[in-house]
């Protein structure tokens, strides 16, 4: 569809890959983008390695309208995201005067020493715009279609809200859901037929167990409400045909 807008997320951090830190940013970003009609089409989790960051940024920015990154913009030696993104664009890293002034004022007001390590958080690729951080001041940045944000969920969230209004919007993504006590394998063939009839929709199947009994939740997503309702009716009929009772939760 011509009004389809897509995004990708790069989660950067050895702590995510080691399991020490659980990522909470993907679900928040997907939900926030969905509200404005942007599809989070892809996500990658990569380590704090410059070559990996460069490769991911360059691959994904060529495929999607937006690329978001989280993590690696703090004051420590392993915070290499800014320099790596700069390298991906072939730009040098500069200290942004507005970011430096805001950080110095923030720390001085709190009697916190201004150190070279802390000032690293004012460094961005040349030509990048700042992404405001109303929580702890240290900014993210936006360069072409790449938006770099903090990994701390609370900070990432205020950064996303700061840029959300500037993102181009696609058609709002609507959804319908049907739950039934029918095993996924029983309904699979018929569901494939419904998907083939409605290629503009994304139809997913998600099995579960309820008190030991198998069931399936069927989710339909798309931008055309009439088409969604038409496909939903066919899915509900399929559930009945397979011996189940459709319990539909309509949203969107």
What is the number of other CB atoms lying within 10 angstroms of the CB of residue 97? 9
**Domain stop point among 119, 139, 164:** 164
**Domain stop point among 164, 195, 227:** 164
Which domain range does residue 199 map to? Answer: 174-251
Looking at the structure, do residues 188 and 143 belong to the same domain, yes or no? no
pLDDT, tens only, 188-202:
999 999 999 999 999
pLDDT, tens only, 161-186:
999 999 999 988 899 999 999 999 99
Looking at the structure, do residues 142 and 178 belong to the same domain, yes or no? no
User: Is 231 part of any domain?
Assistant: yes
Q: What is the mean pLDDT of residues 115-141?
A: 96
pLDDT band at 138 (very low <50, low <70, confident <90, very high): very high
User: Is 194 part of any domain?
Assistant: yes
Total number of domains in the chain: 2
**Domain stop point among 123, 141, 164:** 164
Q: Indicate the SS3 state at residue 247.
A: strand
User: Which residue from 205, 147, 213 is spatially nearest to 178, judged by alpha carbons?
Assistant: 205
Q: What is the mean pLDDT of residues 79-108?
A: 97
**Arithmetic mean of pLDDT over the chain:** 95
User: Is 169 part of any domain?
Assistant: no
pTM for the full predicted model:
0.89
Q: What is the mean pLDDT of residues 49-66?
A: 98
Q: Would you say 241 and 200 are in contact if contact means Cβ atoms under 8 Å apart?
A: no
Looking at the structure, do residues 116 and 96 belong to the same domain, yes or no? yes
Q: What is the pLDDT of residue 110?
A: 94
pLDDT band at 124 (very low <50, low <70, confident <90, very high): very high
Distance CA(235)–CA(246), nearest Å, equals 9
pLDDT, tens only, 202-251:
999 999 998 889 999 999 999 999 999 999 999 999 999 999 999 865 44
Q: What is the pLDDT of residue 150?
A: 98
Looking at the structure, do residues 80 and 200 belong to the same domain, yes or no? no
Q: What is the pLDDT of residue 94?
A: 98
Looking at the structure, do residues 60 and 148 belong to the same domain, yes or no? yes
Q: What is the pLDDT of residue 249?
A: 56
As a residue count, the chain comes to 252
* Residues 226-232: contacts with CB under 8 Å, at least 24 apart: 227/198, 227/200, 227/201, 228/174, 228/175, 228/176, 228/201, 228/252, 229/176, 230/198, 231/176, 231/194, 231/197, 231/198, 231/201, 231/203, 232/176, 232/178
Q: What is the mean pLDDT of residues 7-22?
A: 96
Looking at the structure, do residues 133 and 12 belong to the same domain, yes or no? yes
CATH of the domain at 217: 3.30.70.600
């Amino acid at each position: 569809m011509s009004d389809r807008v897509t995004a990708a997320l790069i989660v950067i951090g050895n702590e995510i890959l080691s399991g020490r830190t659980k990522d909470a940013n993907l679900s928040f970003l997907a939900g926030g983008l969905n509200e404005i009609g942007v599809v989070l089409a892809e996500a990658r989790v990569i380590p704090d390695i410059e070559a990996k960051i460069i490769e991911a940024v360059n691959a994904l920015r060529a495929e999607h309208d937006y690329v978001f990154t989280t993590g690696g913009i703090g004051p420590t030696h392993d915070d290499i995201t800014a320099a790596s993104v700069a390298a991906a664009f072939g730009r040098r890293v500069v200290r942004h005067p507005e970011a430096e002034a805001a950080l110095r004022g923030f720390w001085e007001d709190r009697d916190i020493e201004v150190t070279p390590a802390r000032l690293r958080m004012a460094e961005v690729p040349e030509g990048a715009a700042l992404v405001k951080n109303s929580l702890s001041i240290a900014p993210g940045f936006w360069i072409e279609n790449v938006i770099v944000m903090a990994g701390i969920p609370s900070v990432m969230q205020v950064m996303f809200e700061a840029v959300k209004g500037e993102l181009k919007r696609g058609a709002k993504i609507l959804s319908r859901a049907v739950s039934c006590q029918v095993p996924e394998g029983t309904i699979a063939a018929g569901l494939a037929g419904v998907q083939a009839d409605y290629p503009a929709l994304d139809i997913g199947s998600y099995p579960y167990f309820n008190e030991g009994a198998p069931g399936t939740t069927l989710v339909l997503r798309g931008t055309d409400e009439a088409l969604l309702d038409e496909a939903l009716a066919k899915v509900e009929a399929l559930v009945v045909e397979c011996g189940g009772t459709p319990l539909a939760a309509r949203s969107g």
